């Protein structure tokens, strides 16, 4: 350490030992962490309080219903064809 730095550290009571410097930095980091935690808590509280707007559920149109039925029929046909391609198995489950 240079002589100037030693004199500065010894003349300043808070900085007289290197461990006190580390404690000061630790205190600052602890305060910053506390602030971050408080900010997160307040944001979570705000999100819990804000209620979502209710929406009106729409009924399915007839074309959508037909589309759903045709998809189900297509799946059943595909399943039947897969079983028919396997000669050892007879049951469709």
Give residue-wise pLDDT tens across range 43-71: 998 888 877 777 888 888 999 999 999 99
Instruction: Determine how many CB atoms are found less than 10 A away from the CB of residue 83.
Output: 13
**pLDDT(13) > 80:** no
Q: What 3-state DSSP class applies to 33?
A: helix
Q: When comparing pLDDT for 20 and 45, which is higher?
A: 45
* pLDDT computed for residue 49 by the predictor: 81
DSSP 4: H
Half-sphere exposure of 60 (CA within 13 A, CB side): 8
Q: Average model confidence (pLDDT) for the chain?
A: 79
**pLDDT(73) > 90:** yes
User: Rounded to whole angstroms, how far apart are CA atoms 78 and 80?
Assistant: 5
* pLDDT computed for residue 42 by the predictor: 92
DSSP 53: P
User: Rounded to whole angstroms, how far apart are CA atoms 82 and 59?
Assistant: 34
Domain range annotation of the chain: 1-54, 56-93
Tokens of 3: 């002589």
Q: What 3-state DSSP class applies to 58?
A: coil
* pLDDT computed for residue 15 by the predictor: 46
């Amino acid at each position: 350490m240079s002589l100037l730095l030693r004199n500065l550290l010894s003349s300043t009571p808070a900085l007289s030992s290197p461990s006190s410097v580390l404690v000061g930095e630790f205190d600052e980091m602890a305060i910053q962490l506390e602030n971050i935690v408080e900010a997160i808590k307040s944001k979570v509280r705000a999100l819990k309080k804000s209620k979502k707007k209710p929406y009106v559920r729409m009924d399915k149109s007839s074309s959508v219903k037909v589309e759903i039925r045709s998809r189900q029929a297509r799946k059943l046909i595909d399943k039947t064809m897969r079983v028919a391609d396997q000669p050892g198995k007879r049951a469709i489950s």
